[in-house]
Amino acid sequence: MIVYEDGSIIGSIGGGNLEKKVIENALQQIKKKKPKLFKHDLLHQHNMCCGGSVEIYIEPIIKMNKLYIFGAGHSGSALVNFAENMNFDIYIFDDRKEYIDDIKIEGINKLNLDYQKVLPSLPFDKNTYAVIMTYEHSYDRDILA
């Protein structure tokens, strides 16, 4: 069963009191951002006549933050080196291929694209961060706008 932050679910573990409690537990663990194993005594905790016990492991799926870096010069490259060990899915954009090619860190999304062309296609949400540090102030202003 998948439990979302708003309490809605996909799937089921059978309904009833146990499922209601598992949803409550899942919402707590989503807020804490930590997995936890819960043990349930079906008769005593949930008044289920079948008896027995069940263990439910809850693990929040934490969406990675996205970091968009506009500019792969010395400042953008330094930021990539710093951010690679943090909770970011990193995207670095530059219209200069040689600068993108100079970034040797694996797992980084290196995109040699025109800033104005890529911007309309980029998804932004509450987990997206953007840093603008191109080589031209007019580009910085256009990206910010």
Query: What is the rounded CA–CA span in Å between residue 8 and residue 75?
Result: 43
Task: For 32-90, write each residue's pLDDT tens digit.
Answer: 989 999 999 888 888 878 878 899 999 998 778 999 999 999 999 999 999 988 879 99
Query: What is the rounded CA–CA span in Å between residue 54 and residue 15?
Result: 14
**pLDDT at 106 (0 to 100):** 87
**pLDDT at 52 (0 to 100):** 86
Domain 65-144 has CATH 3.40.50.720: yes
Mean pLDDT for the stretch of residues 104-122: 91
**pLDDT at 135 (0 to 100):** 95
Task: For 34-48, write each residue's pLDDT tens digit.
Answer: 999 999 988 888 887
Mean pLDDT for the stretch of residues 88-112: 94
Domains of the chain: which residue ranges? Answer: 2-58, 65-144
Query: What is the rounded CA–CA span in Å between residue 27 and residue 21?
Result: 10
Please return the burial class of 131, using the count of CB atoms within 10 Å of its CB with bins 0-12, 13-18 and 19+: middle
Percent of the chain topping pLDDT 70: 100
**pLDDT at 42 (0 to 100):** 87
DSSP assignment string, 21-49: HHHHHHHHHHHHT--EEEEEEHHHHH--T
